[in-house]
Amino acid sequence: MARPMTLAGKTIQGVRVTLTATALAAVLQAGAIAVLARLISPAEYGVVIAALVVLRPVTDVLGAGIEKSVVLPADMPDPSIAARYQTAFVGGVLLTLLLAALALAAAPLAGDIAAALALLAPVTILMAVSAVARGLLRRRLRFASLAAIDVAGLAANGALAVATAVSGWGSHALVAGQWAQSLVQLALGLWLCGHRPSLGIVPTARVLSPIGEGLSKSSVLELLSGQLPQALIGGVLGTAPLGWFNRVYVLVFLPVELIVNAVTRVALTGFSQSRDDRARLRRGGMALIETTGAAVLPICAGMALAGPELVAVALGPQWAEAAALTPWLCVAGAATVLAHTLAMVAEAALRLETRVRIQAAALLLRGAMLAAALPFGLTAAVAAVAASALVSMLLHLGLVVSALALPAGRALALLMPGLTAGAACLACVALVHAMLPPNLEPAWLLAADVAGCGAVTLAVYRVLFPNLLDKLLGYTGFISKRA
């Protein structure tokens, strides 16, 4: 008779399911990026990105608040579920009206951006209602369903965006893609969670209280930190530089999220259960930091030197100027992911207020550094983003050292496997560039970069850190472990 699966077993299974779905989503997204970048100009991309800079914080904060208000309570009877659906609908309508008014006010100053914002504003309603369904699925640990929703939404987004871009819709093709993604994710979420929404109007107190239950200062600060560079770059330098920044940012984060998000999004579910056991919390936190560094640092190091061929293959010749941003965004990407992982460990150790203070200080520093750098151009601004991300990562590392009572040297040693593999990747890409002909096709050069980095990373971990390699392969399902 089969034994019931333990929490650890469910966690590992969730990681594997999410990793597989993330890989499929990354392939779909990379394909859409490659096609759309050849059909839509950087300036047209910048128009929609500028509208999303306004929209995303609103939808993300509302969605996170509603989703957490569904996940966190010990019990969730049907009347409470109905109240969440009502909250989502009313909150979405109110925010849609607010965004539409903002677009109307901005129309004389930025007509194209205002038009894109007005067209995207009703998506807020769809995403808010969808957050309830996602929360219900997360309560039941139905990671496969959540993964299927994400993949289907991205597929719908890419398919409609490409089809309309081929038809000459320009920036409106990206708007159409956002609508397709939101509609598909809403429909699938409602179907898979099995609850029909009740969308009646509810009193103000009942609208606001569930959102407040799920919101946190930390999540708001994290959203602001992510959106601030795009807001300032678009506002000061214009839509074309904003398009360059955003597309390279996505290129850098796509392979990083393929590995890291699948582990941290689900592994933390089991890790956070050990917060009352300090020794277990310490071991779990150290393992999470080490595996995240081992995954992200080699990827970012390899991409840092492979920027020209990466941009040429993924985006095409009209984006060549963006290649200079790649090294800085790789530094920013690695530091951001590590800071996020360290922050999750600190949160599990109940250092919430200190984390919020660090986030607030890092946000102010990022704004100041960007303001000082923007007069010197886009590359200087992106370098400021990278520097501020490094400072944030170091501050969070200090917090974890305190929270877990770790010696500073031991905490830094957790990053040594990733740093060692990253250094090997840098040397490998430099050697590839030195040995191959300078006029080689970018696609072949990029393939050599990827193959070389993969080989040296595997060799470093197999020879120097074999236990860590087994752990990473166990998370991804290449090594079967009994939970």
Q: Average of pLDDT values for 388-395? A: 95
**Would you say residue 216 has pLDDT above 80?**
no
Give whole-number Cα distances, 73 to 41, 184, 190, 210, in Å. 46, 27, 20, 10
Quick one: three-class SS letters along 396-464? HHHHHHHHCCCCHHHHHHCCHHHHHHHHHHHHHHHHHHHHCCCCCCHHHHHHHHHHHHHHHHHHHHHHH
Hey, where are the domains in the chain? Answer: 39-215, 216-483
Q: How many CB atoms lie under 10 A from the CB of residue 2? A: 4
pLDDT over 50 (residue 204): no
CA distance 121 to 101: 10
pLDDT of residue 127: 92
Asked whether residue 10 carries a pLDDT value surpassing 70, the answer given is: no
Q: Are 275 and 349 in contact (CB under 8 A)?
A: yes
Mean pLDDT, residues 382-387: 96
429-457: pLDDT as tens digits: 999 999 998 888 999 999 999 999 999 99
Q: Is the pLDDT of residue 302 over 90?
A: yes
**pLDDT over 70 percentage in the chain:** 85
Q: What is residue 480's predicted lDDT score, i.e. its pLDDT? A: 44
Compute the average pLDDT of residues 25-30.
79
- How far apart CA 241 and CA 377 sit, in angstroms, is 9
Q: What is the mean pLDDT of residues 259-268?
A: 56
Q: Residue 101 pLDDT > 80, yes or no? A: yes
Structure confidence at residue 482 (pLDDT): 40
Residue 393: per-residue pLDDT: 94
Task: Calculate the average pLDDT of the chain.
Answer: 84
What pTM was computed for the model?
0.83
211 has pLDDT over 60:
no
Segment 337-358, tens digit of pLDDT? 999 888 888 877 777 788 889 9
